[in-house]
């Protein structure tokens, strides 16, 4: 018995059309089987999307891992080169993180990493990207942001980190961070961009320590 329907079935029509078939080509049983296969395919595609998202996520913080961050940085660089739009990458290093781990244990360190990751993610635009580059180091891709805007954003994020303590196991911890800002150049590769942002971060950290030493009389 061939499939016939008194009422229009738009979902069935679209399914058959995607297979190059017409309603009269498929029996009712065949159409039910096709619908089931289509539903299973959609469910599998959804699981694949979820699996990719999990593979991209950092193990501790709710941000991208380094591999996924580099992929997004490469994509941003392609847009910079193609459309000549500005973009910048921030390199963030948490100050005194080793002492925190040594003094309070890795669970406290993990809690601080997760806290900083959430804070960064909540403080940037949807078009921006946040990732953990390893250890206590994070990266932020600021799309369509020039040097001045990137420096202002780095200062704002630094203030938020400094002003946002975290309570873990009855102890209040305050994260401190150093930021490096690098404006992405045309034809630059992701690793080079991250390295230059890292260099800028260490230069900022060194300048701050030198200034503190001068004020303390050393």
Q: What CATH number corresponds to the domain at position 77?
A: 3.30.70.270
**How many domains does one find in the chain?**
2
Kind and range of the H or E element at 6? none
Q: Model's pTM, two decimal places?
A: 0.76
Which entry of 9, 136, 189, 198 is annotated as an active-site residue? 136
Catalytic: 102?
no
Q: What digits encode the pLDDT tens for the residues 18-47?
A: 777 776 767 777 777 767 766 777 665 665
Stretch among 44-58, 67-81, 161-175 having the lowest mean pLDDT: 44-58
Do 162 and 191 sit in the same domain of this protein? yes
Give the pLDDT band (50/70/90) at residue 9: low
Residue 173 lies in a domain: yes
Report the chain's mean pLDDT, rounded to a whole number. 86
Rounded to 5°, the CA angle 15-18-19 comes to 95
SS3 content of the chain, % helix, strand, coil (to 5): 60, 20, 25
The domain containing residue 124 runs over which residues?
Answer: 66-215
């Amino acid at each position: 018995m061939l499939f016939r329907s008194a009422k229009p079935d738009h979902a069935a029509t679209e399914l058959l059309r995607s297979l190059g078939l017409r309603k009269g080509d498929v029996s009712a049983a065949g159409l039910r089987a096709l619908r089931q296969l289509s539903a299973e395919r959609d469910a599998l595609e959804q699981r694949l999307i979820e699996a990719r998202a999990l593979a991209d996520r950092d193990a501790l913080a709710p941000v991208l891992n380094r591999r996924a961050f580099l992929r997004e940085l490469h994509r941003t660089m392609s847009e910079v080169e193609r459309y000549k739009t500005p973009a910048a990458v921030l390199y963030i290093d948490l100050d005194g993180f080793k002492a925190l781990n040594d003094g309070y244990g890795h669970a406290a360190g993990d809690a601080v990493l997760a806290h900083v990751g959430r804070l960064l993610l909540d403080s940037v635009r949807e078009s921006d990207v946040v990732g953990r580059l390893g250890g206590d180091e994070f990266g932020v891709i600021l799309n369509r942001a020039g040097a001045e805007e990137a420096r202002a954003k780095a200062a704002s994020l630094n203030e938020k980190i400094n002003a946002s303590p975290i309570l873990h196991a009855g102890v209040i911890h305050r994260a401190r961070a150093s930021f490096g800002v690098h404006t992405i150049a045309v034809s630059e590769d992701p690793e080079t961009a991250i390295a230059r942002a890292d260099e800028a971060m260490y230069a900022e950290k060194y300048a701050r320590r030198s200034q503190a030493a001068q004020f303390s009389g050393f």
